Structure 1
Amino acid sequence: MAKLQTLISFSSLFLLFAVTTALDGERVGSKTPIENVESNKEVQDLGKYCVQEYNRQMQQKGNGGKLLMFSHVVEAATQVVSGTKYYLKISASTHGRGGAKTFDVVVVVKPWMHSKELLKFEPSPTSINTK
């Protein structure tokens, strides 16, 4: 009986390890950087969507004077959740107000539901002023 319990415990631990480990050795649910962000059309389109959604939300709040103009996504990472959570660093400028600033953005995409939800859009504490 003790051998059976040991075997079941070992099998359970192995199954848990197998389920929580991706093929390349990264843990499921951990952030994974996206390479070549500036040439990745999907990421750039998602960044543009985030700025448009931010502007829409600002207009709904009656804060239309602080609308942003998308420049490009500077950095990006993903995390598998119930969908895909994208962590973006976006370069954008205030309409008619000079140089671009960076913003930290989090958006969840659920393709099977055709949905995108903007969770966070705020100035980056490590803002990179860009042209």
Structure 2
Amino acid sequence: MNSNNAIFLLLLSVVLLPLYASAAARVGGWSPITDVKDPHVVEIGEFAVSEYDKQSKSELKFVTVVRGETQVVAGTNYRLTVTANDGGKSKNYEALVWEKPWLKSMNLTSFKPASNGRFL
């Protein structure tokens, strides 16, 4: 290997290694949702409240998504703080929804009152 090739490979690794490390850190990790008004994020929030109502025989009414994070798994986990009306009072809830878009499938994994507006 001549010195030009060695220098090229060294420079290439210096450029690509941080990109690879950054991508590797995101796989399986939680990433913030920057646009909670995105129609798909709102759909996930509406699904979470609706599914919770079905499972618990509650009558919560979806209001909005306050904040959220996503996690890439075999599909995507959405960890959302949603606001819902409960008997005329607005309350925040933490919802975890697992979506497999290629199957057009969503599952409500967890739904509970939010604690101090923070994810647990």
Task: Say whether the fold is shared (TM-score over 0.5).
Answer: yes
* Matches of 2:22 and 2:66, distance apart in 1: 28
How far the C-alpha of 1:93 sits from its partner, in A, is 1.2
Partner of 1:120: 110
How far the C-alpha of 1:30 sits from its partner, in A, is 0.6
Runs of 4 or more off by more than 6 Å in structure 1?
none
The Cα RMSD (Å) is: 2.4
**1:79 counterpart = 2:71:** yes
**1:49 counterpart = 2:47:** yes
Q: What are the ranges of 5 or more consecutive residues in structure 2 without an aligned counterpart?
A: 1-18
Question: Alignment length, in residue pairs?
Answer: 102
Q: Is the 8 A contact 2:97 2:108 kept in 1?
A: yes
How far the C-alpha of 1:33 sits from its partner, in A, is 0.2
How far the C-alpha of 1:98 sits from its partner, in A, is 2.4
**More moved, 25-34 vs 102-111:** 25-34
TM-score w.r.t. length of structure 1 = 0.69
**More moved, 112-121 vs 25-34:** 25-34
**Aligned pair partner of 1:91 in 72, 83, 88:** 83
Q: Is the 8 A contact 1:101 1:127 kept in 2?
A: no
- Alpha-carbon displacement from aligned partner over 1:20-53 (angstroms, at most 9, x marks no partner): 751xx7431110001121x211101110111111
Matched position secondary structure for 2:76: strand
* Matches of 1:27 and 1:53, distance apart in 2: 29
Q: Which has the larger share of strand? A: 2
